[in-house]
Amino acid sequence: MTTRTGLQGLGALAAACALITLAACGSDDDSSAPTTPAPAPAPPAETALAGDCATLTGLATAGMTLTAATVEAGTVVAGNTLPAHCVLRGRMNERTGADGQPYAIGFELRLPRSWNGRFMFQGGGGNDGFVANALGAVAGLNTSALGQGFAVVSTDAGHQGGNARFGLDPQARIDHAYNSYDVVTTTAKDLIQRAYGRGPDRSYFVGCSGGGRQAMLFPQRFPQHFDGIAATAPAMKVAREASVASVWNVITHTAIAPVDAGGARILSQAYSNADLKLVADAVVQRCDALDGAVDGMVHANPSACGFDPAVLQCTGAKAADCLSAEQVGALKKDFGGPRNSAGQPLYASWPWDAGIAGPDWRNWRLGTSTTAVPNARNATLIAADAMRYEFFTPPDPTFDYMAFNFDTDPARMDAYAAIYHTTSTDVGAFRNRGGKMLLVHGLGDPIFSANDTIDYYQRLQAAQGGAEATRGFARLYLVPGMNHCANSGGPATDQYDALAALVQWVEQGTAPDRIVARAGAATPWPGRTRPLCPYPQQARYDGAGDVEKAESFSCR
């Protein structure tokens, strides 16, 4: 197996674009006319796996260790009822890193006894560092891909352990940025070819957050690998801009938080849950009717809402039905996005959305710690871990993120962002071979702004021949109320099947003009359905029919 092993020093990261594909580092302008691929043939009859699972260990190549296990039909794993299949677990490129720690690219490939000819790469997230069960049961899928007969692969992205200390090793950084996903895709397809006697007919990548970033790698860097990608809440700028925003909101809300007996501020208590519900209710009151139905949900384009939290400011002392001037000021500063001392924006602004009252919004922005040691994920996962060890070049393990300098410190992330970010609109090669991109983002996402994904999609339209040409291969769906990824607990219809829509688009040529989504049991409207509409359309009530049902709404 050939792998990319260059860029062995941290200083080389700044020049990394010299070693990656033109699709990743070329101009965003792609004026070549899209080609129309031939209609996709119907999937062939299902193919049986050759031999028993134990014999599959003989498929290992040089530099790979491979183990196999058998899973019987009807076995339930993580709530998913699975067909009979083989589980291959492998490790490649084992080595000792520059930090003296052991490294390898680990993966799990699940091969159904009766295979439908489709392959899915299951995206990871966070710092990665572990091999998840390759069930194809990620956010945005109603049924596991494995349960439907797909072969499914997952990876630890080239390092082991859930923290970002692997960033001390230059090659581990490169593996996490892009190399491991290319290597694992190529390896999985090779194993599938030899296990079934033929390769995949169609290949898909589905992921959220870090997995959404990974999905976007392929149209930009490796357009030959996948026929369709579904990216939810993509972490496309987490190595710089989104991390700057994380530090910005932690500092902003800590500054107004109550203090403990020693005078240290308690971030989680900057706002009570009742305070956040005040904001959510005020957003709904202001913007709910814009979609034609007063139903507790805001479906309008986020720029149309025009909400200002100043309407909640107390005229006197802080009370249960209003916010203090400090709370209002901090919210406006946070939602406006980070800026340097010259007032220049360092990341996108955030849409006002009822998802601010969702539990996942608190988990990321404020946390629940009752002490001055915060447990907000923006502090623990991003500021105190990934930024210090992986995103800074060189790493700075003792960096005090509360003293972040918004004029000078963002530049410390430029070198790694050059190879980690997935912001290129140069996806012509992917488009021209018939590839499809399905992007989804919750308007109440607390870690990656939906406004930034809207900006990416608008740039994609400009680079790929305009709005109508882009709709032919890439669509964006905004989910009101949804926090970070599907089923994250916000007041939203955030249960939907991105893979089913993607397969139909790729294999039948039927573009997803609407994706029906359902509200979960923890929402105020269990079972409610709504259409997710391709941007810039929004779901609007038809004026008649049950407001609890998607068929009463049109995308307009």
Looking at the DSSP bridge assignments, the partners of residue 479 are 442
Mean pLDDT, the chain, integer: 91
Q: Has 176 been annotated as catalytic?
A: no
Three-state DSSP class for 352?
Answer: coil
Distance between CA 546 and CA 131 in Å, rounded?
44
For residue 13, pLDDT over 60 is answered with no
Residue 301: pLDDT band (50, 70, 90) is confident
CB 504 within 8 A of CB 510: yes
Model confidence over 26-41: pLDDT tens digits?
Answer: 333 343 444 444 445 4
Model confidence over 99-132: pLDDT tens digits?
Answer: 999 999 999 999 999 999 999 999 999 999 999 9
> Once rounded to an integer, what is the mean pLDDT over residues 176-205?
97
pTM score over 0.75: yes
Three-state DSSP class for 180?
Answer: helix
Structure token digits, residue 405: 């300098």
pLDDT at 164: 97
For residue 178, pLDDT over 50 is answered with yes
φ, ψ of residue 83 in degrees (nearest 5):
-80, 170
Model confidence over 338-382: pLDDT tens digits?
Answer: 999 999 999 999 999 999 999 999 999 999 999 999 999 999 999
Q: Torsion angle of alpha carbons 252, 253, 254, 260, nearest 10°?
A: 150
Neighbours of 68 (CB within 10 A): 20
pLDDT at 26: 35
Distance between CA 81 and CA 331 in Å, rounded?
44
Q: What is each CA distance from 51 to 85, 146, 187, 251, 376, in whole angstroms?
A: 12, 19, 20, 58, 49
Active-site position among 209, 243, 246, 424: 209
241-254 and 325-335 helices cross at what angle (nearest 10)?
180
Q: Has 445 been annotated as catalytic?
A: yes
Nearest to 200 by CA among 44, 18, 323: 44
CB 376 within 8 A of CB 364: yes
Return the exposure string of 364-394: e unless at least 16 CB atoms fall within 10 Å of the residue's CB, then b: bbbbebeebebebbbbbbbbbbbbbbbbbbe
Active-site position among 176, 421, 441, 484: 484
Model confidence over 445-474: pLDDT tens digits?
Answer: 999 999 999 999 999 999 999 999 999 999
Distance between CA 183 and CA 164 in Å, rounded?
21
For residue 45, pLDDT over 50 is answered with yes
Beta strands in 381-508 (DSSP E): 436-442, 474-479
Q: Has 209 been annotated as catalytic?
A: yes
In the block, tokens 């599907």 appear at 486
